[in-house]
Amino acid sequence: MTDVQRTPFVRDLASSDRKTRDKALDSLTLFLRSRTDLSLIDLLKLWKGLFFCFYHSDRPLTQQALARSLSYSLVPTLPRPTVHRFLRAFWITIGREFHAIDRLRLDKYMYLIRCYVGVAFEIFVKGKQQQPGNDDGGKKRKREEEQAAAKSKNQKKQNKRSKGKDNTDEQSNRISNGTTTTTATTDTQTPTTTTDSDAAKWTDLKSYLSIISEGPLNPLNFDPDQDTSINEKTDYVPMPHGPDGLRYHLLDIWIDELEKVLEFEQGDSEEGEETKPRKVISEAPMDLILGPIETLRVEGLHKPVRTRAAEALQDERLFEWGFKERKVESEDEDEESEEWGGFD
């Protein structure tokens, strides 16, 4: 593939006209979906053009729409062999060009990075990836099925409420007649099993997190052992490390974007009651997801980076969701810490 940056749909992606931008996105999507043999170097050429198209996009709403189109609308539709290479090309481009972003355009690139962190969690944690053969009709059918399922769920809830009301009325009648019945309830716990598809899903997640650990969340800014030469025969391109500004941003948004893809147990709390902690019901390998941050906390080159990584790992939501436990200090330790030890 030659001069991929000059393809018409890359230029039209930065248009302020929504119809032109949507048409360009459709062309880009069809192009990427039809090509499963794109190398990393080819995708880097494509991202070079996309980066500067996004650089010249104006107006906040246009920038946000373009960022979401390039992430949430595009990445889930890519062929499975292309997803990791496409994401690697994105992080290589961001690492290369991050220092060249001026302060007036920094916010929109921060939002683009947030979108890519979020869509990666949707694909590799939530498993939300469309098949290459899906079309608009399939999306429409999927929406109709979801609406029908939601309607059926609401109907079941209504039936359950009416049934509970009937049982209450029947029990009150029995009590008034002098006859009561006693029922016993037992709680059962269904064991969770890990299937082969789940193992494959976590394998893809591990491969993606290795890209993050190799690039933006790498503890080192410069690795003397890294091969910095580009090899077109082996399709090797070195991954830039950091910089710290990109590390700080990822540490700020990592848990936020993860929260969006987790499923929580819905519990109704009455007025006046304290909000109950949310319980995560979806599977999420937190040790794997938080691994790059833990490595950065231990092996980070600069103390501010290590401190910020430690703060991210102490996020209140991790304790609320049950992934971390608070350390309880004994009263003796508190008394010893309060005692005055005199002059040294």
Residue 167 lies in a domain: no
Residue 29 lies in a domain: yes
Per-residue pLDDT at 275 exceeds 80: no
Average pLDDT over residues 281-303: 92
Per-residue pLDDT at 113 exceeds 90: yes
**Domain enclosing residue 239, as ranges:** 4-128+202-266+278-321
Average pLDDT over residues 78-102: 93
Residue 76 lies in a domain: yes
Average pLDDT over residues 91-97: 94
Residue 60 lies in a domain: yes
The lowest-confidence range among 15-24, 111-120, 136-145, 150-159 is 136-145
Report pLDDT digits (tens) over 125-164: 988 766 555 544 334 434 544 554 555 555 545 555 554 5
Residue 80 lies in a domain: yes
Q: Looking at beta carbons, which pairs linking 183-189 to residues 24 or more positions away fall under 8 Å? A: none
Looking at the structure of the chain, the number of domains it has is: 1
Residue 199 has a pLDDT of 56
Average pLDDT over residues 20-40: 85
Residue 335's alpha-carbon distances to 16, 327, 329, 340, in angstroms, are 65, 17, 11, 10
In this predicted model, which residue has the larger pLDDT, 95 or 201? Answer: 95
Give the separation between CA 116 and CA 126, rounded to whole angstroms: 14
Residue 127 has a pLDDT of 84
Residue 322 has a pLDDT of 87
Residue 146 lies in a domain: no
Average pLDDT over the chain, rounded to an integer: 78
Residue 175 binned pLDDT confidence (cut-offs 50, 70, 90)? very low
Residue 253 lies in a domain: yes
- Of 36-45, 133-142, 167-176, 325-334, highest mean pLDDT: 36-45
Per-residue pLDDT at 200 exceeds 80: no
Residue 327 lies in a domain: no
Report pLDDT digits (tens) over 255-274: 999 999 998 887 655 555 56
Per-residue pLDDT at 183 exceeds 50: no
Residue 249 has a pLDDT of 96
Residue 188 binned pLDDT confidence (cut-offs 50, 70, 90)? very low
The lowest-confidence range among 9-18, 202-211, 233-242 is 9-18
